[in-house]
Amino acid sequence: MASSEHSVFRVLRLLRKLPFNPLDIPNQKVIFSDYFKGFEKNQAVRGIFGRETDEALSRLKVELSWIIGYMYVDPSDGHLVISKNYLNNGDRTDIYLDLIHELCHIKQFTNGRELFDPRYEYVDRPTEIEAYRYTVKEARRLGLSDERICRYLRTEWMSDEDFLRLAKSVNVQVPSTSR
């Protein structure tokens, strides 16, 4: 059994010892356009959805989750899951860029694309490269430097090699301090 699987099972066993099941804590569900006011007017968002922007955002369900993490598209039905902790404590620029990135995935999902294609590593997936390229374009429009974009791109689950491959795929120069 892989060490990550072993760790998951250990955590699940610990959860069973609690006097309640934390997985039963309800998450709050909202509509994107009700929670993220004004995004329907955002140039980057309109670039993703075009004329369908208003409709897409008013239909998009968002699950505000107590689980620690960031955000992702639920592959079962294409709704957006966002960690409440991340929304409350994360860097505002990173949250904005993550929303743009995930909205790209929402559009990909609605177009029938496979978001989690197991034939590819995370940083090599065509859907990830496309979403990151669009997000990097928006980061540059905001005036972010390649160094700051690198801080955004680097995640704790990426190896240094994966990070460098992703940065190259999305045309971001990696300063020697980010290697």
96-129 tens-digit pLDDT:
999 999 999 999 999 999 999 999 999 999 999 9
Residue 126 lies in a domain: yes
Note the pLDDT of residue 5: 57
Residue 16 lies in a domain: no
Note the pLDDT of residue 1: 44
Q: What is the largest CA-CA distance in the chain?
A: 51
Q: What is the mean pLDDT of residues 68-91?
A: 93
Residue 8 lies in a domain: no
Q: Which two tokens stand for residue 161?
A: 């090699």
Determine the Cα–Cα distance for residues 73 and 92; give it in Å rounded to an integer: 19
Going by C-beta distance under 8 Å and a sequence separation of 6 or more, which residues neighbour residue 21? 15
Residue 165 lies in a domain: yes
- pTM across the whole model: 0.84
Residue 47 lies in a domain: yes
Residue 17 lies in a domain: no
pLDDT over 90 percentage in the chain? 78
Tell me which of 27 and 172 has the higher pLDDT: 172
Q: What is the overall mean pLDDT for the chain?
A: 89
Residue 2 lies in a domain: no
Residue 144: domain span? 23-174
Report how many domains make up the chain.
1
131-157 tens-digit pLDDT:
999 999 999 999 999 999 999 999 988
Q: Which two tokens stand for residue 35?
A: 């929670």
Distances (CA, A) of 80 to 75, 104, 140: 9, 11, 25
Going by C-beta distance under 8 Å and a sequence separation of 6 or more, which residues neighbour residue 177? 147
Beta bridge partners of 28: 64
Going by C-beta distance under 8 Å and a sequence separation of 6 or more, which residues neighbour residue 142? 93
Residue 150 lies in a domain: yes
